[in-house]
Amino acid sequence: MGETLTLTRCLCIGTTQIGGDSSPYFPMARAIVGGLVFSTVVTLLVLLTIYVLMGNLRNWARGCEEREATL
């Protein structure tokens, strides 16, 4: 996480010109930062939520099987 924050700060704050008077690479820098932020959010929040929901579903299914076995 620290590497991501450091990279995004450098890309957002610093100039993105390479080799003097060349064209600025702000659109490319925005795309890179956006991709890093999106992938971090998906990895940390969305996948964790899916794992929790699947675990709850598994526990619910086991409870149903146990209730049917006792009938």
Q: What is the DSSP string of 5-29?
A: HHHHHHHHHS----SSSSPP-HHHH
* Full-model pTM: 0.48
Longest dimension (CA), the chain: 80
Question: How far is residue 56's CA from residue 59's CA, in Å, rounded to a whole number?
Answer: 5
Of 13 and 45, the one with more pLDDT: 45
Q: Are 24 and 16 in contact (CB under 8 A)?
A: yes
**pLDDT surpasses 70 at 21:** no
DSSP code at position 37: H
pLDDT tens per residue, range 23-67:
677 788 888 889 999 999 888 888 899 999 999 999 999 988 888
Secondary structure of residue 66 in the 3-state scheme: helix
